[in-house]
Amino acid sequence: GENVEQHPSTLSVQEGDSAVIKCTYSDSASNYFPWYKQELGKGPQLIIDIRSNVGEKKDQRIAVTLNKTAKHFSLHITETQPEDSAVYFCAAGRGTSYGKLTFGQGTILTVHP
Protein backbone atom coordinates (compact mmCIF):
# COMPACT_ATOMS: atom_id res chain seq x y z
CA GLY A 1 0.00 0.00 0.00
CA GLU A 2 0.89 3.68 -0.07
CA ASN A 3 3.36 5.10 2.44
CA VAL A 4 3.80 8.83 3.03
CA GLU A 5 6.77 10.24 4.91
CA GLN A 6 6.66 13.84 6.16
CA HIS A 7 9.51 16.04 7.41
CA PRO A 8 10.24 17.82 9.63
CA SER A 9 8.10 16.73 12.56
CA THR A 10 8.45 20.16 14.15
CA LEU A 11 9.31 23.50 12.59
CA SER A 12 9.84 26.78 14.37
CA VAL A 13 10.14 30.06 12.46
CA GLN A 14 10.02 33.76 13.11
CA GLU A 15 7.06 35.76 11.91
CA GLY A 16 7.64 36.88 8.33
CA ASP A 17 9.98 34.01 7.49
CA SER A 18 9.12 31.20 5.09
CA ALA A 19 8.31 27.63 6.10
CA VAL A 20 8.76 24.52 3.98
CA ILE A 21 7.39 21.06 4.73
CA LYS A 22 8.31 18.09 2.59
CA CYS A 23 6.63 14.76 1.89
CA THR A 24 7.56 11.70 -0.09
CA TYR A 25 5.24 8.96 -1.25
CA SER A 26 5.80 5.41 -2.42
CA ASP A 27 2.93 4.57 -4.78
CA SER A 28 3.64 5.86 -8.27
CA ALA A 29 -0.07 5.52 -9.04
CA SER A 30 -0.96 8.27 -6.55
CA ASN A 31 -2.12 11.36 -8.38
CA TYR A 32 -3.79 13.59 -5.80
CA PHE A 33 -1.88 15.40 -3.04
CA PRO A 34 -3.77 17.58 -0.55
CA TRP A 35 -2.43 19.51 2.41
CA TYR A 36 -4.43 19.97 5.60
CA LYS A 37 -4.06 22.34 8.53
CA GLN A 38 -5.26 21.14 11.91
CA GLU A 39 -5.65 23.39 14.91
CA LEU A 40 -5.83 21.98 18.42
CA GLY A 41 -9.07 20.12 19.08
CA LYS A 42 -10.40 20.67 15.57
CA GLY A 43 -10.73 18.67 12.38
CA PRO A 44 -8.25 19.08 9.51
CA GLN A 45 -8.95 21.91 7.08
CA LEU A 46 -7.96 21.62 3.43
CA ILE A 47 -5.62 24.48 2.56
CA ILE A 48 -4.36 23.51 -0.88
CA ASP A 49 -4.15 20.48 -3.14
CA ILE A 50 -2.40 19.49 -6.33
CA ARG A 51 -2.94 16.85 -8.94
CA SER A 52 -0.25 15.02 -10.84
CA ASN A 53 -0.87 16.82 -14.10
CA VAL A 54 0.62 20.04 -12.70
CA GLY A 55 3.97 20.75 -11.04
CA GLU A 56 3.10 23.77 -8.93
CA LYS A 57 0.07 25.52 -7.51
CA LYS A 58 -0.13 28.75 -5.58
CA ASP A 59 -2.79 30.39 -3.46
CA GLN A 60 -1.72 33.71 -1.94
CA ARG A 61 0.97 32.88 0.66
CA ILE A 62 0.72 29.14 0.18
CA ALA A 63 2.24 27.09 -2.63
CA VAL A 64 2.69 23.40 -3.30
CA THR A 65 5.21 21.81 -5.65
CA LEU A 66 5.17 18.28 -6.98
CA ASN A 67 7.99 16.19 -8.44
CA LYS A 68 6.44 13.03 -9.81
CA THR A 69 9.75 11.53 -10.89
CA ALA A 70 11.20 11.79 -7.40
CA LYS A 71 7.82 11.13 -5.79
CA HIS A 72 7.91 14.06 -3.45
CA PHE A 73 5.87 17.19 -2.88
CA SER A 74 6.32 20.21 -0.68
CA LEU A 75 4.28 22.92 1.03
CA HIS A 76 5.67 26.44 1.05
CA ILE A 77 4.27 29.14 3.31
CA THR A 78 5.67 32.63 2.82
CA GLU A 79 5.43 35.64 5.14
CA THR A 80 4.37 33.42 8.01
CA GLN A 81 2.06 34.79 10.68
CA PRO A 82 1.38 33.57 14.24
CA GLU A 83 -2.03 32.30 13.11
CA ASP A 84 -0.27 29.90 10.76
CA SER A 85 0.83 27.97 13.86
CA ALA A 86 -0.84 24.54 13.68
CA VAL A 87 -0.21 20.94 12.68
CA TYR A 88 0.09 20.41 8.94
CA PHE A 89 -0.56 17.07 7.26
CA CYS A 90 0.25 16.03 3.73
CA ALA A 91 -1.62 13.19 2.08
CA ALA A 92 -1.55 11.16 -1.10
CA GLY A 93 -4.32 9.37 -2.93
CA ARG A 94 -5.29 7.76 -6.16
CA GLY A 95 -7.90 9.11 -8.48
CA THR A 96 -10.26 6.20 -7.88
CA SER A 97 -13.94 6.45 -7.15
CA TYR A 98 -13.27 5.90 -3.45
CA GLY A 99 -10.62 8.56 -2.98
CA LYS A 100 -8.81 6.93 -0.06
CA LEU A 101 -6.01 9.11 1.31
CA THR A 102 -2.83 8.13 3.12
CA PHE A 103 -1.56 10.78 5.54
CA GLY A 104 1.91 11.81 6.57
CA GLN A 105 2.88 11.96 10.23
CA GLY A 106 2.27 15.68 10.55
CA THR A 107 4.43 18.76 11.16
CA ILE A 108 3.95 21.04 14.14
CA LEU A 109 4.58 24.56 12.86
CA THR A 110 5.20 27.30 15.39
CA VAL A 111 5.47 30.91 14.22
CA HIS A 112 6.99 33.20 16.82
CA PRO A 113 5.86 36.84 16.81
Partner 1 sequence: GAVVSQHPSWVICKSGTSVKIECRSLDFQATTMFWYRQFPKQSLMLMATSNEGSKATYEQGVEKDKFLINHASLTLSTLTVTSAHPEDSSFYICSARGGLTDTQYFGPGTRLTVL
**Which residues lie near partner 1 (CB under 8 A)?**
32, 34, 36, 41-46, 49, 51, 89, 93, 95, 97-106
Rounded to a whole number of angstroms, the minimum distance from the CB of residue 16 to partner 1 is: 27
Which is nearer to partner 1, 77 or 90 (by Cβ)? 90
CA distance linking residue 45 with residue 35, whole number of Å: 8
Q: Could you give the CA distance from residue 56 to residue 63 in angstroms, rounded to a whole number?
A: 7
> Shortest gap between Cβ of 31 and partner 1 (angstroms)?
8
* Closer CB to partner 1, 77 or 89, in the complex: 89
Cβ proximity of 25 and 4 under 8 Å: yes
Phi, psi of 82 (to 5 degrees): -55, -35
Nearer to partner 1, 15 or 58 (CB): 58
Spatial CB neighbours of 70, under 8 Å, sequence gap ≥ 6: 24
* Residue number with CB closer to partner 1 (46 or 54): 46
Q: How far is the CB of 101 from partner 1 (least distance, A)?
A: 6
Rounded Cα gap, residues 93 and 88, in angstroms: 17
